[in-house]
Amino acid sequence: MFAFAVRRLLVSIPVFLLSTLLVFLLVAYGANPLAQLKAKNPPPSQATLDAMAHTLYLDHGLLARYWHWLTQLLFHGDWGPSVQSATDIGHLLRSSLTLTLRLVLLAMVVAVILAIVAGVISAVRQYSKLDYGITLGGFLFLSLPVFWFAILLKQLAINFNNSTGNYFLQTYGSGTPGLTGWSAFTDALGHLILPTVVLAMSSYASWSRFQRASMLDVLGSDYLRLARAKGLRRGRVMIRHGLRTALIPLTTQVALDVAAILGGAVLTETVFGWRGMGTMLINGINSQDTNIILAWLVVSAVIVILFNLVADLLYAVLDPRIRLA
Amino acid sequence: MPELTAAPPAQAPRQGPDREFTVEARSQTRLIARRFVQHRLAVASLVVLVLVVLLAYVGGALWKYGYSDITPDNSVPPSSDHPFGTDNLGYDEFARVLRGTQLSLQIALSVALMATLVGTVWGAVAGYYRGWSDSLMMRVVDLILTIPILAAGALLTKKVQGVGWWALALVIAGLSWPAVSRIVRGQALSLREKEYIEAARALGARDGRIIARHLLPNIAGQIIVVVTILVASAILIESSLSYLGFGVQSPDVSLGSLISGSDTALQGGRWWLFYFPGLFIILICLSVNFIGDGLRDAFDPTQQRVRA
């Protein structure tokens, strides 16, 4: 198992390096960091533009720029200068990432648990009223735009707060500054609930469908019938023999969907006014701040690669054939 | 994967050598069509979708206000004159929702077509040839899939802002095809080992012909289902980008850009600006998803029987 883990980790390193190259090319093509400066009125002098280009290392060739950026990042932990000279990208990234990870991880845990429960119930009670209800709900959430659902929930919470006079559910920001101890915790929780629900439901929809399908596959298999035939109890067969196998496809799917969840977090954060990674990305794109966009993309690539690694390891835990191969 | 060529169980061809062939060949399509029609929700969704498309294009052309006409009524709630009300500038929301639906559908269909085409060819070639070319092609796909579509989409659509709706479609398609190619490759990998492919190769068919005439028609069912998923996801991605301000730009409108201004409108009590465009997105996506589900069951009925 340990050798398997190390091997997987080593494979991830070239993947990471290649993805840095890809995102660098994407941003070099997609963003023009001098655009904002050029659009200023009165137009800046050529010397100002040249100085800015020099600060941003733009006066070099594409590959030289990539190499400079990558080595600065890997060996010095330096994300490079921002277009706004006052912004320290590393600092901004740390504060944004803590907020966003809190949201994303919690939402994923909630979504996975809900999806497994709903998917298994749906499959075991196929074609019952419950199954139809869960399936319809899943389809509805699959068709809901994340931002629309977020705005709707926000408005419902505002109405609820106003009518009950209880302001536990917060609808804007990630926390009230200046609180400490227990009150800071409940405050953060109140801010966290609505965005988590929105983000969790957006992935719950497809995962529960997925879990239902893979559980149905397993339920129809011969080895499950054998397990029942040799006298094992139904509950034990479902959990130990059925669910364990049916979790394997979901593991892969969750890891694949991490990128989509990070995208969903951008929308959720925008609606709920969180100053997390999503806000950082939107601001970065709007001001064409190359290094901020790059920082976001690199961090998201690392998260995606890490999740795929974890999925591979979980896969090996669930299916012994894989770690022995 | 069950074979599409499985013989129909109940409808055995009638006796007599002259009938046998034609009945066999036709029953396949008819069987799928009949299974689809039995999926009542899918058929109802198809009707709803057709009605929405007709409403958007025919209704949009006939309606007395255009999407860029400014009427003297500002911020009026829904009435017989303005079924969906108006916004604070006096634009008729009904006309704008119809226009937004047109644009969202156009973008979604173009994305589905382009992404399916590229993804199918890419996946079929990779799966058919296997070996190092497969590894290389699928690593490219894996790499692209590590980038969140929304992030790359926002970056690229910001660059092509103002070019037109097709540029937006091109960007979304460019980021959506890798997912298609994964599915097609998986199918191609298993189908290439089938006897009829081997037979075609033994008869001297070239690779291009085997892929086009034997491989792809047998993945067609899967591909059609993928198309429906692509349409639904493209509408959601487009509306998300437009909501964030990167997609469709004023003076043109999409369902997403209509909602983007309605966040404050909802808090100010002008609910009609928020609910109507949102309901149209949900209506389209929901019916497309149900149609996809009906098609999946029609092409692959294995999950329908209770076998536990």
pLDDT of residue B26: 58
Contacts of the segment A80-85: beta carbons below 8 A, 24+ positions apart: A80/A56, A80/A290, A80/A291, A80/A294, A81/A55, A81/A56, A81/A291, A82/A289, A82/A291, A82/A292, A83/A33, A83/A36, A83/A37, A83/A56, A83/A287, A83/A288, A83/A289, A83/A290, A84/A287, A84/A289
- Distance from B190 to chain A by nearest Cα, in Å? 18
**B147/A15 touch (CB, cutoff 8 Å), yes or no:** no
Q: In the predicted model, is pLDDT for residue B241 greater than 90?
A: yes
- What is each CA distance from B191 to B184, B214, B218, in whole angstroms? 10, 9, 8
Compute the distance between CA of residue A132 and CA of residue B285 in angstroms, rounded to an integer: 19
Compute the distance between CA of residue B244 and CA of residue B150 in angstroms, rounded to an integer: 10
Of A19, A216, A270, the CB nearest to B303: A216
Compute the distance between CA of residue B150 and CA of residue B158 in angstroms, rounded to an integer: 12
- Distance from B150 to chain A by nearest Cα, in Å? 5
Optimal mutation site among B39, B141, B146, interface A, most CBs of chain A within 10 A: B146
Compute the distance between CA of residue B120 and CA of residue B117 in angstroms, rounded to an integer: 5
Compute the distance between CA of residue A139 and CA of residue A310 in angstroms, rounded to an integer: 28
Compute the distance between CA of residue A156 and CA of residue B93 in angstroms, rounded to an integer: 23
Of A140, A219, A260, the CB nearest to B307: A219
Of B155, B267, B303, the CB nearest to A26: B155
- Residues of chain A with pLDDT below 50 are none
The tokens for A317 are: 């835990």
pLDDT of residue B302: 62
CA-nearest residue of chain B to A253? B179
CB atoms within 10 A of CB A23: 25
Asked if B200 is an interface residue toward chain A (Cβ–Cβ < 8 A), one would say no
Mean pLDDT over all residues of chain B? 86
What interhelical angle do A129-143 and A181-219 show, nearest 10?
Answer: 120
Q: In the predicted model, is pLDDT for residue B303 greater than 70?
A: no
**A285/B256 touch (CB, cutoff 8 Å), yes or no:** no
pLDDT of residue B308: 32
CB atoms within 10 A of CB A166: 9
Which residues are bridge partners to B70 per DSSP?
Answer: B91
Asked if A80 is an interface residue toward chain B (Cβ–Cβ < 8 A), one would say no
Q: In the predicted model, is pLDDT for residue B61 greater than 70?
A: yes
**CA-based nearest residue to B149, from B174, B114, B132:** B174
Yes or no: say if A203 and A260 are a contact pair by the CB < 8 Å rule.
Answer: yes
Helix (H) or strand (E) holding B199: helix B195-202
Of A145, A151, A266, the CB nearest to B151: A266
Q: A–B: how many Cβ contacts below 8 A?
A: 138
**A30/B263 touch (CB, cutoff 8 Å), yes or no:** no
Asked if A4 is an interface residue toward chain B (Cβ–Cβ < 8 A), one would say no
Query: Which chain B residues are Cβ-neighbours of A263 within 8 angstroms?
Result: 148-151, 240
The stretch B239-247 carries a mean pLDDT of 92
Yes or no: say if A249 and A112 are a contact pair by the CB < 8 Å rule.
Answer: no
CB atoms within 10 A of CB B50: 11
Compute the distance between CA of residue B308 and CA of residue B303 in angstroms, rounded to an integer: 11
Compute the distance between CA of residue B106 and CA of residue A260 in angstroms, rounded to an integer: 23
Q: Is B92 helix (H, G, I), strand (E, B) or coil?
A: strand
The stretch B213-228 carries a mean pLDDT of 88
Yes or no: say if A151 and A244 are a contact pair by the CB < 8 Å rule.
Answer: no
**CA-based nearest residue to B306, from A249, A215, A135, A133:** A215
Of A31, A220, A256, the CB nearest to B155: A31
Yes or no: say if B128 and B210 are a contact pair by the CB < 8 Å rule.
Answer: yes
The stretch B184-205 carries a mean pLDDT of 90
Amino acid in the structure at residue A11: V
Check if the interface score ipTM surpasses 0.85: yes
Yes or no: say if A208 and A138 are a contact pair by the CB < 8 Å rule.
Answer: yes
**A220/B150 touch (CB, cutoff 8 Å), yes or no:** no
- What is each CA distance from B207 to A44, B140, B189, B202, B222, in whole angstroms? 59, 23, 14, 12, 21
Yes or no: say if B235 and B281 are a contact pair by the CB < 8 Å rule.
Answer: yes
pLDDT of residue B22: 52
Compute the distance between CA of residue A296 and CA of residue A298 in angstroms, rounded to an integer: 6
Q: Is B103 left (phi over 0), alpha (psi -120 to 50) or beta?
A: alpha
Compute the distance between CA of residue B300 and CA of residue A215 in angstroms, rounded to an integer: 17
Which class for B230: exposed (0-12), middle (13-18), buried (19 or more C-beta within 10 A)?
A: buried
- The whole-model pTM stands at 0.89
CA angle B153, B157, B163 (to 5 degrees): 150
DSSP letter (8 states) at residue B77: P
**B240/A147 touch (CB, cutoff 8 Å), yes or no:** yes
3-class DSSP string for chain A = CHHHHHHHHHHHHHHHHHHHHHHHHHHHHHCCCCHHHHCCCCCCCHHHHHHHHHHCCCCCCHHHHHHHHHHHHHHHCCCCCCCCCCCCHHHHHHHHHHHHHHHHHHHHHHHHHHHHHHHHHHHHCCCCHHHHHHHHHHHHHHHCCHHHHHHHHHHHHHHHHHHHCCCCCCCCCCCCCCCCHHHHHHHHHHHHHHHHHHHHHHHHHHHHHHHHHHHHHHHCCHHHHHHHHCCCCHHHHHHHHHHHHHHHHHHHHHHHHHHHHHHHHHHHHHHHCCCCHHHHHHHHHHCCCHHHHHHHHHHHHHHHHHHHHHHHHHHHHHCHHHHHC
Phi, psi of B205 (to 5 degrees): -70, 140
Asked if B244 is an interface residue toward chain A (Cβ–Cβ < 8 A), one would say yes
pLDDT of residue A194: 95
Asked if B232 is an interface residue toward chain A (Cβ–Cβ < 8 A), one would say yes
Query: Which chain B residues are Cβ-neighbours of A296 within 8 angstroms?
Result: 151
Of A213, A219, A297, the CB nearest to B151: A297
Q: In the predicted model, is pLDDT for residue B307 greater than 90?
A: no
pLDDT of residue B306: 41
Asked if B285 is an interface residue toward chain A (Cβ–Cβ < 8 A), one would say yes
Alpha carbon distance, N-terminus to C-terminus of chain A:
11
For the ranges A120-124, A194-198, B18-22, B206-210, the lowest mean pLDDT is seen at B18-22
Q: Is B16 left (phi over 0), alpha (psi -120 to 50) or beta?
A: left
- Residue bearing the bigger pLDDT, B22 or B159: B159
Compute the distance between CA of residue B192 and CA of residue B215 in angstroms, rounded to an integer: 7
Q: In the predicted model, is pLDDT for residue B301 greater than 80?
A: no
Asked if B203 is an interface residue toward chain A (Cβ–Cβ < 8 A), one would say no
The stretch B27-53 carries a mean pLDDT of 89
**A259/B149 touch (CB, cutoff 8 Å), yes or no:** yes
Query: Which chain A residues are Cβ-neighbours of B183 within 8 angstroms?
Result: none
Percent of chain B at pLDDT > 70 equals 89
Yes or no: say if A253 and A209 are a contact pair by the CB < 8 Å rule.
Answer: no
Residue tagged 């979980």 (tokens):
A314
Yes or no: say if A208 and A122 are a contact pair by the CB < 8 Å rule.
Answer: yes
The stretch B190-197 carries a mean pLDDT of 88
Compute the distance between CA of residue B301 and CA of residue A3 in angstroms, rounded to an integer: 42
